[in-house]
Amino acid sequence: MTPFIEEARRMLRLAERDFETFAILRAHPDAKIAPTCFHAQQSVEKALKAVLMARQVYFRYTHDLEELFKLLTEAGITPPHGIDALRRLSPFAVELRYDDQVIPLLTRDEAETIAVGTLRWAQGLVSDASDS
């Protein structure tokens, strides 16, 4: 197994861990949307990075889902969700963690849909890359 695949698998495990945290917070009635969706954003970010790693596409250190989306599409890889969905999730990475006045750009359900779809998509692509 190549170091790229090993690192992609590690990143995917981290994405799964972030999704588990999102799911716990999402189910808690008192959890605020910003920290809850932060973990959805982190799961999606790491899942996208796992695919980039598996395909040996270089990316800089970033939390910008739009930038990662563009790198994927430039490499001929089609993410499961469009750029508009990712743009709505992106602010939870940084801006909304440090602001107590949150104007949600999406619902918890929408964040879950994006995170689940991206995680499953990444798991399939990293698995396929591991098999080849």
pLDDT in tens, 100-109: 555 567 889 9
pLDDT, position 91: 83
pLDDT, position 86: 93
pLDDT, position 98: 54
What structural domains does the chain harbor?
A: 3-131 (1.20.120.330)
First to last CA, the chain: 10
pLDDT, position 57: 95
Classify residue 98 by its DSSP letter: G
User: In whole angstroms, what is the distance from residue 109 CA to residue 11 CA?
Assistant: 24
- Helix H or strand E segment including 118: helix 108-131
pLDDT, position 11: 97
Residues with pLDDT less than 70, the chain: 94-104, 132
Q: Which residue type is seen at 86?
A: L
Rounded to two decimals, the pTM is 0.91
pLDDT, position 95: 59
User: In whole angstroms, what is the distance from residue 101 CA to residue 117 CA?
Assistant: 29
